[in-house]
Amino acid sequence: MKIVVTGANGYLGTGIVKQLCDDGNEVIAVCHHDPEEIDRRAKNITCDIFSVEDPFDEFEKPDVLLHLAWRNGFVHNDTSHVIDLPRHYAFLEKMAVSGIKKIAVLGSMHEVGFFEGSIKEDTPTHPESLYGISKDALRNMTKLICKNNNVIFQWLRGYYIVGNSEHGCSIFSKITAAEKEGKKLFPFTSGQNQWDFIDYDEFAKQVTATVEQNKINGIINICHGRPEKLAERVERFIKENHYTIKLDYGKFPDRPYDSKAVWGDDTKIQAIMENRKLG
């Protein structure tokens, strides 16, 4: 399978490209700059995807588009989310009308907004940040683009990813960076929110397993399937990595739009992973 991956040099892209290569796919890794972190087995194309006139042809007529590209994902109310939205739409439409067989886009549980409980495929969305609003809009746009062009649609709704790379802007990346800088304390919230945490490597495996199959499509939660308190998961992360840094609780307020307890329904992804094991 020939798969083009946008945002290939991002925090998530590097691990996903590696896993796709491990699985034996032909990978076209597209990034805006700095391809140094991308697996050498992938073919790299450095460009601004929004400026390419015919991306399907430029990216060597792939079977699948895995669209990870998105800037300022950790700055939830940055205006770039709204500014870039029509550009993402135009890019995806170009790919669809040119003959791509499947479009898979990385989404976010922040599309749902404030919600408590298990997020299912049909859970209503009421996003409360520009990031969530833009992702939610792109999901509906992509679904329509795929329907109108007879393209398989997969929306990979991501949850909270645990990884110990200092690259990226997650809480775990920041703690890793602070530990390497020799800091003793890390300013923290109350840590009482309960979220769905998934390890980085497992996240990459779930994403690749999803795009490598066509039987289960639509909205698919890339998740662990159960909630865990933020404080407990971060303390465990620190212990797992033998860090000496301590959490300084209560230095930051909890964000008002964050759910108190939310997790993904893992019915679809578990079926995909089981089918993968069966071959």
Eight-class DSSP state of 75: S
Say whether 131 is catalytic: yes
CA distance 195 to 214: 29
Measured between alpha carbons, how far is 269 from 191 in angstroms, rounded to an integer? 27
Amino acid letter at 109?
M
Q: Which of 131, 159, 160, 200 is catalytic?
A: 131
Backbone angles phi, psi at 99, to 5 degrees: 125, 10
Alpha helices in 52-196 (DSSP H): 55-58, 80-98, 130-149, 171-180
3-state class of 37 per DSSP?
A: helix
Measured CA to CA, the distance from residue 59 to residue 95 in angstroms comes to 10
Per-residue HEC secondary structure of 7-23 comes to CCCCHHHHHHHHHHHHC
Residues 189, 174: Cα–Cα separation, whole Å: 14
Q: How many residues can be counted in the chain?
A: 279
Give the active site residues: 131
